[in-house]
Chain A
């Protein structure tokens, strides 16, 4: 009964669905301009054939060429009186042309024969309008190819609108390769750019991998789920991050100033680069004893903290000096080593990069340290204070943390849109953030632990997913605007894309590790970081290597075309040559890309097989 009743509805629905599909595809045809007629057209086919034939002859090798140019007179049209124009007998001791007939009606065809040329050479055969044999303007294009006896014969149609009473000419240009082949200019250019391309991919993969590593832990549910903290601890960490980053930046800037006077003083540089690690090791040995059964006295702990702090300052100072040393040595090596100078350039650039990275590392480290320190204080407070006091403190801290976060968000908005209206970007966010903080503190019971790990997890996942939907090419456009055209923009775009996609892939691997070892290491009393190092990392190394390899493969492919939008590498050259209709050079670049990608494919599959 029921079946019968529902069947007409079903048919109607089915019909509707079918109609919808048809409409969708019809619309698709319409918007994609599908035009099979165009495919058939003679003109299109001819140009396609021409382009494909040119592409099949990449411009890689070149010869020195000897060019032989021979002109032969021709009349167009024939003289009006019907007489046959007299043509000088060609000099038969040189290569020469015979044109028959010697005169034609406009747009007529002639047979051009060449004699006495070098065997097996080729070149263009053209009509030279006007009566000047040295005229550089030529029309039409036929190809001559000589046989073993140095002879050729080509049927040639002359242009229709170049009538003249005077003599005009047909010019044969035969080009002969001499000597041994050498790489053409476009081969050299292609080589330079393909190297650039491969290194772009390498740097992007390396950088992206390093950053994707920690991010993937934050996006792994199994690691983040157990991370729980009391509200006081979360709020203090949230305040601690920006505070620590600011503090770290100040510190690094101060140290940059302190180290600046010695930046060109080679002995001081060498001494500090050698001395700093030594002092650090000794100091750390004292400040971080390997085992400690009983917690040390407060005074001693404070002293140790100071020493560790001093060591960090020393480290940053040492890094600045190291950067200086690298620059100096790099410049000297680059100047002195000739063709190995790129090693010096590398060192020099390394120094620059280090100088860029120090503030980043310093501020992140300081942010992390301050946040974890404050977080621990928050943890203690939640454990030891009475419920009433804890609630009061929670209210205060959560309001502060909420306000801080929202004001930072407001600062970001202000930076983007430059409204210049503090009530929108400072006061209101502060009020809203503070209010939300208060709300959270009222709702959460003061000593309860909150699943902050899952919050971090969802935030990380969301950011990863959002960024993953942005193509690397689009990122490249943004970076080209922010750091200028060139490989650096390409590296940044590919690097960012690598972080995002590897972060996702890695985190899936982290989520699929065996839980047993994790549990076992936790059960020994290991802390979170120790658990990750001893139970998680050994398990994820093989898939991580495999994914990194895979990504490096993708990055090589991507870096070949990222130049289309100005991101450096071979793509820029390729695009240029295509736009200039320089198909033979373009073919060289396509060929190079194919070779590199195929090689990459092969190498990565071999490595993956061997090590995973």
Chain B
């Protein structure tokens, strides 16, 4: 169970990106976070693993207050929270296998990892994860030699290496064409349904929300304007979320 309580974030420049955000995510749920761009989706997801420091509020996970964790504890928490990014965020010049193994950095002994030594078990695990997402044959290529869809799979494999209990996916398919989008979403669905990993995924398209999400949280200018099942989003709710001028397509 992940609980977000009265979370607010004000950036240094004074932009209030989140205002009093409160919701819960039960274990194993596939939660979609929707909203216009600039509504605070990325900020919200990054507050959960504290890539961004929240200004106020609390994030409780398994009874532990993430917002109060010391740097040392934070590293331990982060290693169970995988993250997938809109722009994949791979290290371009590194090989695919290195990018995937980076997912183990929170577990391995830092001293050995600095000289690029990983335990044999981790190497095998990396092969298994790459096979799972279908990129095992690319292991030794440079990450930037891969297509967008393939890069996002590397991103997913990296997150899987963390043995995650939660995956935060920040618009994982926004940079991909629709066909690839479904294949990536299916991987996330598989991880959610078969491994029981809680998924928080911010999405742009409502059809993807309907197709994959168990529940939806909608943000508008940093506030939660809707929380419920995907099919509960009617035209009135839609206009709350996306603004008066928005037209519903499809």
Contacts from A to B (Cβ < 8 Å): 284, 288-293, 379, 383, 514, 516-517, 519-527, 529-530, 533-535, 538-539, 541-542
**B93 close to A541 (CB less than 8 A):** yes
Of B13-21, B104-112, B234-242, the one contacting chain A is: B104-112
Identify 6 new A-B residue pairs, CB closer than 8 A, beyond the known A520-B155, A527-B75. Answer: A290-B117, A293-B107, A519-B89, A523-B51, A524-B82, A533-B113
Interface residue B223 (Cβ < 8 Å from any Cβ of A): no
Alpha-carbon distance A521/B85, docked complex (angstroms) = 12
Q: Which of B70, B75, B85, B122 contacts A520 (CB 8 A)?
A: B85
Query: Do A539 and B92 touch across chains, with their CB atoms under 8 A apart?
Result: yes
| B49 surroundings in chain A (CB, below 8 A) | 523
Residue of B88, B105, B121 ringed by the most chain A CB atoms within 10 A: B105
Contact sample, A vs B, 20 pairs, CB 8 Å cutoff: A289-B109, A291-B109, A292-B109, A517-B90, A519-B85, A519-B89, A521-B102, A523-B49, A524-B79, A524-B103, A525-B105, A526-B106, A529-B114, A530-B113, A534-B105, A535-B91, A535-B102, A539-B91, A539-B93, A542-B93
Given contacts A290-B109, A533-B114, contact A522 B51 (CB under 8 A): yes
CB within 8 A of B110: which of A520, A529, A535? A529
B8 interfacial by beta-carbon distance below 8 Å = no
B164 to chain A, nearest CB (A): 10
Residue of A at shortest CB range from B84? A520
What chain A residues lie within 8 Å of B113 (beta carbons)?
Answer: 530, 533-534
Complex contacts, B187 vs chain A, CB 8 Å: none
> How does the 8 Å CB contact mask read for B154-190 relative to A, with 1 for contact and 0 for none?
0100100110000000000000000000000000000
- Docked Cα-Cα span, A523 to B71, in Å, equals 12
Give Cα A379–Cα B51 distance, bound, in whole angstroms: 20
Q: Which 3 A-B pairs have the closest CB atoms?
A: A525-B106, A525-B79, A516-B89
Please name all residues of chain A whose beta carbon is closer than 8 Å to the beta carbon of B102 when the two chains form the complex. Answer: 520-521, 524, 526, 534-535
User: Chain B contacts of A530 at CB under 8 A?
Assistant: 105, 110, 113-114
A474 vs chain B, min Cβ distance (A): 38
Contact call A520/B98, Cβ cutoff below 8 A? no
When the two chains form their complex, are residues A538 and B51 in contact, meaning their CB atoms are under 8 A apart? no
CA distance A527 to B113 in the complex (A): 11
- Give residues in B with beta carbon < 8 Å to A: 46, 49, 51, 70-72, 75-79, 81-83, 85, 87-94, 98, 102-114, 117-119, 121-122, 155, 158, 161-162
In the complex, what's the smallest C-beta–C-beta distance from A462 to chain B, in angstroms? 23
Is B111 in contact with A288, judged by CB distance below 8 angstroms?
yes
Are A524's CB and B91's CB within 8 A? no
A418 to chain B, nearest CB (A): 44
- Check B78 against A524 for contact (C-beta < 8 Å): yes
Question: B70, A383: Cβ atoms under 8 Å?
Answer: yes
B90 near A525: Cβ-Cβ < 8 Å:
no
B80 closest partner in A (C-beta): A525
With a CB–CB cut-off of 8 A, which chain A residues contact B78?
A: 522-525
Q: How far is the CB of A226 from chain B (nearest CB, A)?
A: 9
Chain B positions within 8 Å of A289 at CB level = 109
With a cutoff of 8 Å between Cβ atoms, the chain B residues found around residue A538 in the complex are 91-94
B181 → chain A, closest Cβ, in Å? 19
The complex places the Cα of A541 from the Cα of B110 at a distance, in Å, of 22
For the complex, what is the distance from the CA of A291 to the CA of B83, rounded to whole Å? 22
CA distance A579 to B156 in the complex (A): 71
A519-B79 contact, Cβ under 8 Å, with A526-B105, A539-B91: no
**Contact B90 A290, beta carbon cutoff 8 Å:** no
Beta-carbon contact of B83 and A523 below 8 Å: yes
The distance from the CB of A612 to the nearest CB of chain B, in whole angstroms, is: 12
Give the nearest-CB partner of A295 in chain B: B76
Chain B hits for A533, CB < 8 A? 113-114
List, in ascending order, chain B residues with CB within 8 A of A535's CB.
91, 102
Nearest B-chain residue to A376, judged by Cβ = B72
A542 to B71, CA, bound (A): 32
Distance to closest chain B CB from A387 (angstroms): 14
Chain B residues lying within 8 Å of A539, measured Cβ to Cβ, are 91-93
Give the residues in chain A near B104, CB-CB below 8 Å.
Answer: 524
Determine if B85 and A516 form an interchain contact, defined as CB atoms under 8 angstroms apart. Answer: yes
Q: Which chain A residues lie closer than 8 Å to B89 at the CB level? A: 516-517, 519-520
A residues less than 8 Å from B98 (CB atoms): 534
What A residues does B77 contact at CB under 8 A? 525
**Which residue of the partner chain A has the closest CB to B155?**
A520
Which of A288, A379, A383 meets B112, CB within 8 Å?
Answer: A288
Q: Is there an interface contact between B108 and A290, defined as CB atoms closer than 8 Å?
A: yes
Least CB distance from A283 to B in Å reads: 13
- A288 close to B109 (CB less than 8 A): yes
B109 near A525 with CB under 8 A, answer no
B119 engages A524 (CB within 8 Å) = no
Instruction: Tell which of B81, B114, B117, B121 touches A523, judged by Cβ atoms closer than 8 Å.
Output: B81
Residue of A nearest to B76 (CB): A525
A520 closest partner in B (C-beta): B89
**How far does the Cβ of B68 sit from chain A's closest Cβ, in whole Å?**
9
CB <8 Å contact, B158 and A290: no
Please indicate the chain B residues that have their CB under 8 angstroms from the CB of A291 in the complex: 107-109, 119, 121-122
Q: How far is the CA of A383 from the CA of B94 in the complex (A)?
A: 37
Q: A520-B85, A520-B90 are in contact. Are A525 and B158 (CB under 8 A)?
A: no
Contact status of A520 and B158, CB under 8 A, knowing A525-B75, A530-B105: yes
Bound state CA distance, A383 and B98, in angstroms? 35
Chain B residues within 8 Å of A526, by CB = 75, 102, 105-106
Cα distance A284–B104 when bound, in Å?
20
The complex places the Cα of A221 from the Cα of B214 at a distance, in Å, of 42
Taken together as a complex, chains A and B put the C-alpha atoms of A160 and B185 apart, in Å, by 106
Minimum CB–CB distance for A518 against chain B, Å: 8
Residues of chain A with a CB closer than 8 A to B82's CB: 523-524
Q: Which of B46, B72, B110, B162 contacts A524 (CB 8 A)?
A: B162
Q: Residue of B at shortest CB range from A449? A: B71
Question: What residues on A are CB-neighbors of B93 within 8 Å?
Answer: 538-539, 541-542
B108 touches A525 (CB 8 A): no
Contact B162 A379 (CB under 8 A): no
| Shortest Cβ distance from residue B119 to the other chain A in the assembled complex, whole angstroms | 4
The residues of A that contact B107 with a CB separation of less than 8 Å are 291, 293, 525
> In whole angstroms, how far apart are the Cα atoms of A354 and B240 in the complex?
71
In the assembled complex, how far is the CB of residue A297 from the closest CB belonging to chain B, in whole angstroms? 17
Given contacts A516-B85, A539-B93, contact A290 B112 (CB under 8 A): yes
User: How far does the alpha carbon of A374 sit from the alpha carbon of B78 in the complex, in Å?
Assistant: 25
Question: Within the assembled complex, what's the spacing in Å between the Cα atoms of A517 and B122?
Answer: 21
Please indicate the chain A residues that have their CB under 8 angstroms from the CB of B83 in the complex. 520, 523-524
Could you tell me the distance between the alpha carbons of A122 and B91 in the complex, rounded to whole angstroms?
A: 71
Chain A residues with CB under 8 Å of B122's CB are 291
Q: How close is B93's CB to chain A, nearest CB, in angstroms?
A: 4
Q: Nearest residue in A to B116 (C-beta to C-beta)?
A: A533
Chain B residues whose C-beta falls within 8 Å of the C-beta of A534 in the assembled complex? 91, 94, 98, 102, 105, 113
How far, in angstroms, from A417 to B49 measured CA to CA in the complex? 53
Determine the chain B residues whose CB is within 8 A of the CB of A290 once the complex forms.
Answer: 108-109, 112, 117-119
Chain B contacts for A529, CB-based, 8 A: 110, 114
For A527, the closest partner residue in chain B by CB is: B110
Closest to B112 in A: A290
B156 to chain A, nearest CB (A): 12
CB-CB under 8 A from A524, the residues of chain B are 78-79, 82-83, 102-106, 158, 161-162
Would you call A521 and B94 a contact (CB within 8 A)?
Answer: no
Residues of B within 8 A of A520 (CB): 83, 85, 89-90, 102, 155, 158
Bound complex: CA of A522 vs CA of B162, how far in Å? 12
Tell me, in angstroms, the Cα distance from A284 to B56 when the chains sit together.
Answer: 43
- Cα distance, A538 to B91, chains bound together (Å): 7
The residue from B92, B105, B110 contacting A521, defined by CB atoms under 8 A apart = B105
